[in-house]
Amino acid sequence: MTRACNPLIPWLVSALLGLIGNTCAAGVMADHTRLIFNEGQAQESLMLANTNAYPVVIQTWVDKGQGDNLPQNIVSAFIAMPAVFRLQPSALQSLQVILTDRNLPVDRESVFWLNLYEIPPTQDASAPDTTRVTLAMNTQLKIFYRPKNLPIAPEQLTNALHFRLEQTADGVLLICRNDSPYHTSFASVRLIQGDKIVAGISDTDLLSSPYSERRYHLDQNLLKSHDQLQVRYELIDDTGRAKPGQAPLR
């Protein structure tokens, strides 16, 4: 018996692809790039779509971004359900992320990572003698837990960011001081002089923690003159969009 395909499935998969864009090479994609848990919120959901031409098994878990521990050995403030499931080509799956430990800091955001570990089939049943390389992929999405009554609103975050340069034996570093209770997720950071880009950041992790300083390595070992330098950045907001901003060096 042939099962009729739900006509909504291709449309929903296409919609998810449009939301995600080309930022992820994995075949399983989510309709969020991050989850925001406000204090008092018990759970959040997101939709996953398998854009591969083959079925996959997905294992999900939440950690602090360690990447060096087995999921069964990780103790986290969140759990993801279902923890393991199979996803057919073009199929959708709702995933629930549940807060299980409310004993988190009340004066600042906490950040966790949702892992989507994608395991493809090991062998093509139609071609059993074909040799191929099977690669599992892990996609990570950020989860932010946001307490109530923080001293400033998220929209005021940019006013709490301060930048300066520091000369070290390894070159020039850009220091970002985050005086806010929020994590800052930069999509890009560049130094400009007038309209000219004179340096960028070579680091791939551009997350800056609340009430802390983060040191970023410049991709150019400048700088003979720091006159009129500005920091131009793109800051990722709660919706996952990159918003431009600019700040002076101090």
250 residues of the chain, pLDDT tens digit each: 333 334 444 444 444 444 444 334 578 999 999 999 999 999 999 999 999 999 999 999 999 987 666 777 788 999 999 999 999 999 999 999 999 998 999 999 999 999 999 999 876 555 555 555 567 889 999 999 999 999 999 999 999 999 999 888 878 899 999 999 999 999 999 999 888 998 899 888 899 999 999 999 887 766 556 678 999 999 999 999 999 999 999 8
CA-atom Rg of the chain in angstroms? 21
Domains delineated in the chain: 8-17+25-122+131-146 (2.60.40.10), 154-248 (2.60.40.10)
CA 73 to chain centre: 23
The residues, any chain, with a CB within 8 Å of residue 168's CB and separated by 6 or more, are none
Q: For the whole model, what pTM was predicted?
A: 0.82
Any idea of the CA torsion for 75, 81, 83, 84, to the nearest 10 degrees? -170
Burial of 80 (0-12, 13-18, 19+ CB in 10 A): buried
CA-to-CA distance for 42 and 27, rounded, in angstroms? 29
CA-to-CA distance for 9 and 12, rounded, in angstroms? 5
What six digits make up the tokens of 25?
């090479």
What six digits make up the tokens of 26?
């994995």
Distances (CA, A) of 17 to 10, 123, 127, 222: 11, 27, 30, 40
Q: Spell out the SS3 assignment of 183-202.
A: CEEEEEEEEEECCEEEEEEC
Tell me the sheet residues that pair with 46.
95
Cα dihedral sign, 86-87-88-91:
positive
pLDDT at position 221? 63
> 3-state DSSP call for residue 217?
strand
pLDDT at position 17? 43
Q: Which helix (H) or strand (E) holds 173?
A: strand 171-178
Instruction: Report the side by side order of strands in the sheet with 161-168.
Output: 161-168, 171-178, 212-217
Distances (CA, A) of 140 to 35, 40, 116, 178, 231: 11, 24, 6, 24, 28
